[in-house]
């Protein structure tokens, strides 16, 4: 992938997340402590921010770097049902559902969409340990 | 009542909210995350309450709607 293509993909993803969160380019400029001219260049694919600034943007949006750097928008067939599913790994989705359905756990997560099954299994074990400590679950 | 705690969790998990048996809720935020990310996770979990997500069924869809609006 060439630099031009990468900048175009980044710009499209950046605009998507600005719009999704209701932020303006001026909001982004204030948050990132850069000029609006700089953010305009990011949004038009003229330039890209440095890696540390990309991470700051990810923190601001609550997303992963891949959400800004990968061409998921054109790959995604984007039916409404596709948009309404979060977990990329079916096994992770299954564990999340099992934790939610367990009346002792009944938990929802803020996790990355590429969270591995082991990530949620680790948290499940943590929750169960906390419950045992509280004497609520054997 | 909502109790909030910090706990080391895998880096892909930023927070969680648990519906407790007594009607209260527990939010756990990942202590490895930045304060800013913690605040986002806290808002995410509060939104689950405000949207009545514990009355819904499909967690994959719940999170999809929470993240994509």
Tell me, what's the ipTM?
0.93
* Chain A: residues touching B (Cβ < 8 Å): 20, 59-60, 62, 83-87, 93, 96-97, 100, 103, 105-116, 118-120, 122-123, 126-127, 136
Which residue spans of chain A are classified as CATH 1.10.260.40? Answer: 3-75
Residues of A with Cβ-Cβ distance to B37 under 8 angstroms: 59, 62
- Write down the pTM of the prediction: 0.61
The CA-based dihedral angle spanning residues B8, A21, A76, A109, taken in that order and rounded to the nearest 10 degrees: 30
On whether any CB of chain A is under 8 Å from the CB of B35, the answer is no
Q: pLDDT (tens digit, 9 = 90+) per residue, A3-19?
A: 888 998 998 899 888 88
According to CATH, the topology of domain A3-75 is 434 Repressor (Amino-terminal Domain) (1.10.260)
For residue range B44-64, what is the model confidence (pLDDT) as tens digits? 999 999 989 998 878 888 888
Mean pLDDT (chain A, rounded): 86
Whether residue A111 contacts residue A119, with contact meaning beta carbons closer than 8 Å, is answered with yes
| Residue A74 tokens, joined | 């054109």
Per the CB < 8 Å rule, is B48 touching A105?
no
Residue B11 gets which letter from DSSP? T
Verify whether the Cβ–Cβ distance A100 to B13 is below 8 Å. Answer: no
């Amino acid at each position: 992938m060439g630099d031009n293509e990468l900048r175009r993909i980044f710009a499209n993803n950046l605009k998507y997340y600005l719009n999704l969160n209701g932020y303006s380019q001026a909001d982004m400029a204030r948050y990132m402590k850069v000029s609006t001219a700089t953010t305009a260049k990011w949004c038009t694919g003229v330039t890209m921010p440095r890696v540390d600034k990309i991470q700051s943007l990810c923190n601001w949006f609550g997303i992963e770097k891949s959400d800004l750097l990968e061409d998921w928008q054109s790959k995604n067939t984007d039916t409404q049902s596709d948009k309404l599913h979060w977990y990329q790994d079916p096994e992770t989705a299954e564990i999340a559902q099992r934790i939610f359905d367990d009346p002792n756990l009944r938990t929802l997560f803020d996790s990355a969409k590429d969270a591995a099954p082991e990530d949620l299994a680790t948290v499940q074990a943590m929750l169960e340990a906390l419950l045992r400590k509280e004497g609520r679950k054997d | 009542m909502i109790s909030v705690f910090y706990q080391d969790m895998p880096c892909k998990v930023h927070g969680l909210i648990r519906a407790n048996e007594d009607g209260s809720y527990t939010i756990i935020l990942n202590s490895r995350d930045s304060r800013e990310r913690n605040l986002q996770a806290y808002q995410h979990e509060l939104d689950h309450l405000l949207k009545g997500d514990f009355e819904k069924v499909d967690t994959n869809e719940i999170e999809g709607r929470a993240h994509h609006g």
